[in-house]
Amino acid sequence: MSANGYRAVIKGQIQGLGFRPHVYRLAKALGVRGFIRNSSSGVIISAQGKNARRFLDQLRQAPPPLAVITSFRITSVRARSCKGFSIKPSRAGIGAGVDVLPDLATCRDCRREIEDPRNRRYGYAFTNCTQCGPRYTIIEHLPYDRPNTTMTGFLMCPQCRSEYMDPTDRRHHAQPIACPVCGPKLAVAPANARLSPIEAAAEALLRGKIVAIKSLGGYQLACDATNSRAVERLRRRKHRPSKPFALMCESAAVTRKFCLVSPAARAALLSAAAPIVLLPKSLRPAIPVAESVAPRNSRLGVMLTYTPLHVVLFARLRRLTGKAAVLVMTSANRKDDPIIAEARRLSEELPGVPDLVLTHDRPIANRCDDSVVLAGTAGPLLMVRRARGSAPQPVPLGRMFHVKHQVLAVGGEFKNAFALASGGRAFLSPHIGTVATAIGESFWREAFARYAEWTGIEPEAIVADVHPDYASTRLAEHLSRDLGLPLIRVQHHYAHILSVMAEHDLSGPALGLAFDGTGYGADGSIWGGEFLLVRDVANWQRVGHLGYLNLANAGDELADPARVARAYLEQARALGMPSAKRPAAAGQALLQTSSVGRLFDAVAAITGACRAATFDGEAPSALESLADPSENGHWFSDDLLDLSASPALLLPEPILLNVARETAAGVDPAAAAARFHNTLSKASVRLADVLCDRHSVTTVCLSGGSFQNSLLRSQVVAGLRSHGRRVHWNQAVPLNDGGIAYGQVAAAACAERPAPDS
Ligand SMILES: [Zn+2]
Ligand SMILES: [Zn+2]
């Protein structure tokens, strides 16, 4: 056998970002003969000649910038006679190994072409290249080649074809390649004979109209964000009284005119993922964004123009007014339903909402919302909603959490996302929302079918929440029966803490603080203020919690803050009576809760931050926004803790009584809101400290939606660190229930581990 022939099989995120042209150029430069081919089990390279091995080593050490190689196998083969190096057409095969790429925001080179009047793609709304453009949202099957995408209906013109075929062109094998001659075209409804679709949309927006825009993963609803009447009209038509709207503008420089943009936030805005970044509102904005965009909220969610369609629309607006536009850009959907991706559904589900529809003829293969990340003034960003730009990229699992058997984790009930896992990787779905409705469940099943096909993962077990009434649990029960697979049930807050441990590869022991709105507890009540001891990853115990509140319908996702406040105050006053007893857990399923979210609701109602909520998380975020960060006062004393109880208790009633007393005495609500945060943080840190000492633990994990509150999180982190604890929290997956499926995968990995000797 001749030594200078090699075959390499490469897996990972390598299709659709100029990998093959990169390999081609390298082979040419080194005089290597052979070929490269995409297959559904990876990229295959045949290399011959005296530099063949050097060529492969160089490729492994310095792959193209966006590539992520997860496996690179080289075998020696007999050298065959062949001339030159070629890129061969793809061959369909069995098995999977190639990751589907997320959609990538329009790159600088393409932006330059779109804005250059001499370029043939000037003003063209579907310009893309190997470094940018749609991926996930157009792919139907693997391998990633044009006939397997929704571009299959567009026949390339000779000029596009020659770019596509030319290995030296930056559009070589760019599957969605298109131009004004051969590619997708824009249209508006109602039709406009006088204006182009972009002109018609821009003009409507400037007149305060609402325009539906077909984006990458579905339709968006847009209006002028500086026109409060337009914003309020959109709120009325969408039946969305107060939930914040996301904004879009052209650049980080424009964003800085109405928000504070940290270096990390700027990098996120400009990244290929281009998520919505939650940014602190500027105190003296140069662009007057309407208050109604995000009422009672100290932040605005902003993303930059991430498709060429957005780029040309904003360029048109700038030409018409002479200034940079800021538009509301919110997903087109009915409350709690998935994003709409078809024109027919838009008119059926949102009749009369848009005044104008700006659409096009490139079908959407996979629906996908915009991702959301949270940026503070410093520190790493937090994932709030993981979707466009991130999905379907897998999230690695720490070494302790690699699964031996492939699993499907169905996720939680709210902010649902599922995960398919194999070995050290969890393929977390994009944000699904709810599966409690037929339309939500069908979205779940659609996304699941695609993920199963692409990843080749055939689950051997299904993981679900322990909640008996979760629609996601019922879905898991059906799937487990239909497929004859075992069902593993995992407690909600344990899944939250494991999601942190799996992300940071922590083997335990660790103390987990899981603070959120609702989750079904092991004792049948609704948990949400939990201190969990995870001895090793497979053994956990509830060692502390927020004292119970008696509350009917404690499991509802959206509670009425005023009602929660009344229940709390009633209980607090009754406890002052000599014969009163603290509520205990036994036999009162769904009628009591240890939820930190509910505690925030109550305080928001008492301080006036928010008395009636229309969406989950509204009251807590209004309270955080109200709090004066310069206020250092608090009501903490050791009386807030009952350390002799088992589990130990953090007592909420004295905190509530302090809030009520100060509010009645006319203390500034911003100061009262801050003192509440300070008190809860100090009490949590103190209880965590005691429990860490008691159980000889130094690592603390924070998870659950309540820790999206930056004030609470930063105070708890700082407090624990000052006492020498190592503190971790979620970054790649959401802290909220969007990360539950990932934690469920970790739990399945733990369930495979033999129980340690007791
Ligand atoms: Zn590009
Ligand atoms: Zn063309």
Q: What percent of the chain has pLDDT over 90?
A: 83
Could you count the other beta carbons within 10 Å of the beta carbon of residue 263?
9
Give the Å distance between the CA of 368 and the centre of ligand 2: 27
Give the Å distance between the CA of 109 and the centre of ligand 2: 17
Q: What is the pLDDT of residue 706?
A: 98
Contact 677/620 with Cβ under 8 angstroms?
A: no
pLDDT tens for 173-211 read 999 999 999 999 999 999 999 999 999 999 999 999 999
Give the Å distance between the CA of 155 and the centre of ligand 2: 8
Across the chain, mean pLDDT equals 93
Contact 393/420 with Cβ under 8 angstroms?
A: no
Q: Which of 276, 228, 284, 242 is nearest to 259 (CA)?
A: 284
Q: Residues within 5 Å of ion ligand 1 by Cβ? A: 107, 110, 129, 131-132
Please tell me the distance from the alpha carbon of residue 102 to that of residue 219, in angstroms, as a whole number. 18
Give the Å distance between the CA of 58 and the centre of ligand 1: 25
User: Hey, what amino acid is at 277?
Assistant: V
**Ligand found nearest the CA of 184:** 2
Give the Å distance between the CA of 125 and the centre of ligand 2: 13
Please say if the pLDDT value at position 7 is more than 60: yes
Q: What is the pLDDT of residue 3?
A: 54
Helix (H) or strand (E) holding 377: none
**Ligand found nearest the CA of 131:** 1
Q: Which of 335, 739, 375, 713 is nearest to 515 (CA)?
A: 713
Could you count the other beta carbons within 10 Å of the beta carbon of residue 335?
10
Give the Å distance between the CA of 154 and the centre of ligand 2: 9
Give the Å distance between the CA of 181 and the centre of ligand 2: 5
Q: Which of 517, 615, 617, 557 is nearest to 238 (CA)?
A: 615
pLDDT tens for 282-315 read 999 999 999 999 999 999 999 999 999 999 999 9
Q: What is the pLDDT of residue 752?
A: 77
Contact 594/524 with Cβ under 8 angstroms?
A: no
Please say if the pLDDT value at position 757 is more than 80: no
Give the Å distance between the CA of 65 and the centre of ligand 1: 14
Q: What is the pLDDT of residue 553?
A: 84
Query: In the sheet that 648-650 helps form, which strands lie side by side, from edge to edge?
Result: 641-642, 648-650, 540-546, 529-534, 510-515, 699-703, 726-729
Say which residues have a Cβ less than 8 Å from residue 407's Cβ, sequence separation at least 6: 420, 421, 459, 460, 461, 462, 463, 745, 748
Please say if the pLDDT value at position 758 is more than 60: no
Q: What is the pLDDT of residue 590?
A: 54
Give the Å distance between the CA of 132 and the centre of ligand 2: 17
pLDDT tens for 674-715 read 999 999 999 999 999 999 999 999 999 999 999 999 999 999
Say which residues have a Cβ less than 8 Å from residue 565's Cβ, sequence separation at least 6: 601, 602, 603, 605, 606, 656
Please tell me whether residue 424 adopts helix, strand or coil conformation. Answer: coil
Give the Å distance between the CA of 21 and the centre of ligand 1: 15
Q: Integer distance in angstroms from the first to the last C-alpha of the chain?
A: 57
| CA dihedral over 330, 334, 338, 342, signed as positive or negative | negative
Give the Å distance between the CA of 683 and the centre of ligand 2: 64
Question: pLDDT-derived band of residue 391, with 50, 70 and 90 as boundaries?
Answer: very high
Q: Which of 639, 545, 531, 541 is nearest to 585 (CA)?
A: 545
Can you point out the beta strands (E) in 78-191? 85-91, 186-189
Secondary structure in 3-state letters for 719-755: HHHHCCCEEEECCCCCCCHHHHHHHHHHHHHHHCCCC
pLDDT tens for 425-463 read 999 999 999 999 999 999 999 999 999 999 999 999 999
Please tell me the distance from the alpha carbon of residue 438 to that of residue 161, in angstroms, as a whole number. 43
Reported residue count of the chain is: 758
> What are the distances in angstroms from CA 386 to CA 27, 171, 220?
37, 29, 17
Q: Which of 297, 279, 281 is nearest to 289 (CA)?
A: 281
> What are the distances in angstroms from CA 77 to CA 2, 3, 48, 82, 90?
7, 7, 9, 14, 21
Q: What is the pLDDT of residue 416?
A: 96
Q: Which of 99, 202, 85, 110 is nearest to 163 (CA)?
A: 110
Q: What six digits make up the tokens of 314?
A: 């904003």
Say which residues have a Cβ less than 8 Å from residue 544's Cβ, sequence separation at least 6: 530, 531, 647, 648, 649, 650, 687, 691
Q: What six digits make up the tokens of 311?
A: 């780029």
Say which residues have a Cβ less than 8 Å from residue 324's Cβ, sequence separation at least 6: 249, 250, 251, 254, 257, 287, 314, 318
pTM above 0.75, yes or no: yes
Give the Å distance between the CA of 130 and the centre of ligand 1: 6
pLDDT tens for 572-606 read 988 876 655 666 554 545 589 999 999 999 999 99
Question: pLDDT-derived band of residue 612, with 50, 70 and 90 as boundaries?
Answer: very high
Return the residue matching tokens 């009209």: 233
Contact 354/346 with Cβ under 8 angstroms?
A: yes
Give the Å distance between the CA of 629 and the centre of ligand 1: 43
Chain centroid to CA 533: 27
Contact 702/727 with Cβ under 8 angstroms?
A: yes
Question: pLDDT-derived band of residue 379, with 50, 70 and 90 as boundaries?
Answer: low
Please compute Rg for the chain using Cα positions: 27
Contact 125/312 with Cβ under 8 angstroms?
A: yes
**Ligand found nearest the CA of 127:** 1
Q: 650 exposed, middle or buried (CB, 10 Å; 0-12, 13-18, 19+)?
A: buried
| Partners of 511 in beta bridges | 533, 700
**Ligand found nearest the CA of 114:** 1
Q: What is the pLDDT of residue 273?
A: 96
Alpha helices in 397-538 (DSSP H): 438-455, 471-483, 492-504
Secondary structure in 3-state letters for 28-96: HHHCCEEEEEEECCEEEEEEECCCHHHHHHHHHHCCCCCCEEEEEEEEEECCCCCCCEEEEEEECCCCC
> What are the distances in angstroms from CA 693 to CA 207, 696, 700, 723, 725?
63, 5, 12, 11, 10
pLDDT tens for 216-248 read 999 999 999 999 999 999 999 999 999 999 999
**Ligand found nearest the CA of 151:** 2
Return the residue matching tokens 């203020």: 529
Q: What is the mean pLDDT of residues 514-523?
A: 94
